[in-house]
Amino acid sequence: MSTGYILANDAFRDWLNILRNEFTVIGPVLKKRGPIVFEEIQDAGDLHLDYCSTMLGPRKFIYPPTQRLFRIDNQNHRVTTIEPADAGNAVIFAVRPCDMQAISVLDRTFLGDIEDFYYRKLREETLTVVLNCNRACDAGFCESMGAGPFLRLEDGYDLEMTSMGENYLIEIGSRRGEGLIEKAVHRKEAASGDYETKDDLQRKAIASFTKHLETAGLPELLMRNLDHPVYRETAEARCLGCTNCTMVCPTCYCYDIEDDMSFDLTVTERRRHWDSCQELHFARVHGGNFRSSREARLRQFVTHKLATWVEQYGCFGCVGCGRCMTWCPTGIDLTEMAKRIQQDFETGRARWWAYS
């Protein structure tokens, strides 16, 4: 059992305003026209904690959509690295467990054998406060993916929050997180009954899921059925190739590189921006395109999230947040595609053996 504290709702708001004097505090904010977005808050009252999901997750503060990398002085033959703008000791509040899991997945990509300097800098300067989910989202299946509804990670985050009605249970995940909660004036140490209440809330949250996906043996099954007709049928009937699924996915990490040169040809600046495997140009190489069909690109998305990621990083690339299907204009559901292959295997219409 980790060290925990209880904060009443009023004390929680006071704590947030104290933190604002020292940190850039980011959290979910309800906008005038209805959407909820992660942005810097100006007052504790701006924080909208009763939310299910956002279109873009908090990854955008650690892995921005566009990033300047370096500048080349063509006259003096000098290369100058452009460091990421300081996060300003940012604290991101109310990160859902699936989004925290997604950030941990990105850590494996950008902080693995080859470290990404730009990602590491923003990751180290940003503190994360997780807010557990007391109910399932309509399109969510994070419980099936081991990413929710309550936090499953043992490290990589700073604080874990659970809403308990009139109070919040706040548990420490790191030394930096401990430093944050110490700034709460009216905190009191959590008792055993508080943890029992948390366990009860977690059981109820798990029972509220209506969407499930059986993941046992799924990577192997998908990779043995790359020619399954579900990819062609879905691509031809519904996929628009709009890239929404990859833009909102909290674990997608692909980017493209652009070089911009000044009009007088003296300075060149390189930047990167999010890219998508659903773009036709993405797989274009010298001599052709190895994913020229929409079917191939859709299959790449599904198999990367639910199969090949496991081989690459030892975990699924899908955290079950449901964003890809929520923001797909035609409602394509990758869980239904996976389930169809599983059902066909049960009835003998999908293979379990590898290609010869």
pLDDT tens column, 148-194: 999 999 999 999 999 999 999 999 999 999 999 999 999 999 999 99
- What's the confidence (pLDDT) of residue 33? 81
What gap in Å lies between CA 160 and CA 101, rounded to an integer?
Answer: 13
In the chain, DSSP finds a helix count (H) and a strand count (E) of: 12, 14
- What's the confidence (pLDDT) of residue 27? 97
Q: Hey, where are the domains in the chain?
A: 4-207, 218-346
Q: Quick check: 63 and 116 in contact, CB under 8 A?
A: no
Name the residue among 129, 51, 49 with its Cα closest to residue 97.
129
Determine what percent of the chain is predicted with pLDDT higher than 70.
97
Q: Quick check: 142 and 98 in contact, CB under 8 A?
A: yes
Q: Quick check: 97 and 142 in contact, CB under 8 A?
A: yes
Name the residue among 292, 271, 272, 290 with its Cα closest to residue 280.
292
Q: Stretch 230-247: mean pLDDT, rounded?
A: 97
What gap in Å lies between CA 321 and CA 327, rounded to an integer?
Answer: 11
Amino acid identity for residue 145 in this structure: M
Assess whether the previous peptide bond of 149 is cis (omega < 30° from 0): yes
Quote the mean pLDDT of the chain: 94
| pLDDT confidence bin for 355, thresholds 50/70/90 | very low
Q: Stretch 267-292: mean pLDDT, rounded?
A: 94
What gap in Å lies between CA 99 and CA 40, rounded to an integer?
Answer: 18
Both tokens of residue 335? 């869980």
| pLDDT confidence bin for 220, thresholds 50/70/90 | very high
Residues 6+ apart with CB under 8 A from 214: 144, 342
